[in-house]
Amino acid sequence: MKKLLIALLLVVMVCSVAFAEDIALPEPEKSGGIPVVDAIAARQSAGDFVDKEISLQQLSNLLWVAGGINRENGKLTYATAMNNQDMIIFAFTREKVYRYNPENHSVTVIAEGDYRKLTGGQPFVAKAAVDLLYIQDAGKWEKLPFKAPAEDILNCGFAHAGLSMQNVYLYAASLGWGARTRMNFDREGLTKLLGLTENHNFTLMQCFGPKP
């Protein structure tokens, strides 16, 4: 009986920790900013960032822009091949590492602490308010009624990441902030930190935040 009680207590503790790690994000702000053509004209890759923590509302807006649901049919803010929503977006901030859950607009805390340096070696990477890492879940392609070549799957992953990242570029331009796409990061360290498997493909990473 004592062993059973201990086992039940451990289950309750694990469930409590898991629940505490899920954070519901505020409703994203879906209006405002500058005209889209003005944002396109202002779009550029930032050369540096101010090391500043952004609010939960700002993180909510950013993640919805990057890959949130914008229609009642569950489709996303960027185009996907055959609506195969295979992209996982991780957000690295000064305080935590999050995984975005677009289905209920929430984040799951993956790690406590500042791991921005894992997403790139250039000095500005560790200063960006948020570093977004785009990981493709290739396992989602196994659920389709046909078998796609591995090269085509990866190409779609890069396309999905690029479409999402352009949303972020335009959003940054509308705020007068900066964004920058990168492809050089610590794959081994990130794989361990995020618990990635062979079904996960690295695509691209993007810095985002206020500029000096």
Whole-number mean pLDDT of the chain? 91
By the 8 A CB rule, do 153 and 141 touch?
yes
Cα–Cα distance for residue pair 103/58, rounded to 1 Å: 19
DSSP-derived letter for residue 76 is: B
Output phi, psi for 189, to 5 deg.
-65, -40
Contact present, 169 and 43 (Cβ < 8 Å):
yes
- Domains by residue range for the chain, with CATH: 2-209 (3.40.109.10)
| pTM metric for this prediction | 0.88
pLDDT per residue as tens digits for the range 20-49? 479 999 999 999 999 999 999 999 999 999
CA distance 101 to 81: 19
Quick: pLDDT tens for 108-155. 999 999 999 999 989 999 999 999 999 999 999 988 888 889 999 999
- Quick one: which of 66, 63, 86, 82 has its CA closest to 200? 86
